[in-house]
Copies of this chain bind each other. A is one copy, B any other.
Amino acid sequence: MDRNAPIGVFDSGIGGLTVAREIMRQMPQERIVYFGDTARVPYGSKSQDTVLRYSRQIIRFLKTQGVKAIVIACNTASACALETVRQELDIPIIGVIYAGARTAAEATHNGKIGVIGTEATIRSGIYTREMQKLRPDIEVIGKPCPLFVPLVEEGLFHDSVTDEIASRYLSSLKEKYIDTLVMGCTHYPLLRSTLHRLMGDEVTLVNPAYETAVELKTLLRDMDLTRSSEDLERFSEENSRRAAAGEPILDPYQFFVSDRAENFTRFAKAILPKEVKDTKQINIEEY
């Protein structure tokens, strides 16, 4: 395995950029190949078989890019595909669910945890299984919130309609007196202030994106797969040479999508700390 190879990160669309952003922050030396399945988004309302088939295609594509490890930066794909593809793969792969489940299990005082996510994620029951493996006494209350993704994609982060819908979705969780809420979909942290206001200060909000980057960092270190400083230096020197020669610079971050790149690039520019130079469109069905 080449420790200097990039990390592959994928999502059904743009939500996984919140995970890529955390990886960039916590491991600024690493290279990333990101794939967003914008042609087939959303995954949350689809069946496990379909999401598994799509995930396998994307993993085959990422392997053509020579990645050293893969992060499924999508709760639905993590719920539907991780266990199966992990057995099929010869490189390490992690999802966003385990890290979020562990953090929530450690954060709760009263043992009552709420999980909000897509229909597919909640239906899979995977957050409940992962948390109860760690602490069998934990009570997990799952609630699918299918309108949150369309509302976020419409930009209605702070809006009376989002308040009304969120208040309906969260009422059953409030009735159960949960003290911890997992934002089990990569879009949901964009609704954090609404969720916080409705749930109150006493409820801890868990964002799996952050926790997943921490888990990845540990994994790469333990497997001796952290990029070497020599390679980073070579990369910088090559780019200095290219800059001086007026040649195009090598970008440590590559972005691929399955539908038109424009919308994705616009969103990526808004969410990521570094400039997104260009995004390539590929036909994912060929993989």
Contact = CB atoms under 8 A, between A and B. Distances in A.
Identical copies in the complex? 2
B154 A160 contact: no
A46 B39 contact: yes
A260 interface: yes
A49 interface: yes
A259 interface: yes
B260 A47 contact: yes
Contacts of A53: 283
Nearest to A262: B47
A243 interface: no
Contacts of A250: none
A200 B41 CA distance: 36
A46 B150 contact: no
Given A39-B40, A164-B160, A165-B161, A47 B150 contact: no
Contact of A46 (B45, B46, B259, B285): B259
A190 interface: no
Interface string A156-191: 000011001100000000000000000000000000
Nearest to A47: B260
A41 B160 CA distance: 28
A228 interface: no
A50 interface: yes
Contacts of A260: 46-47, 49-50
A146 interface: yes
A40 B47 CA distance: 11
Given A46-B260, A146-B154, A160-B164, 6 more contacts: A40-B40, A50-B258, A146-B150, A147-B151, A147-B154, A285-B285
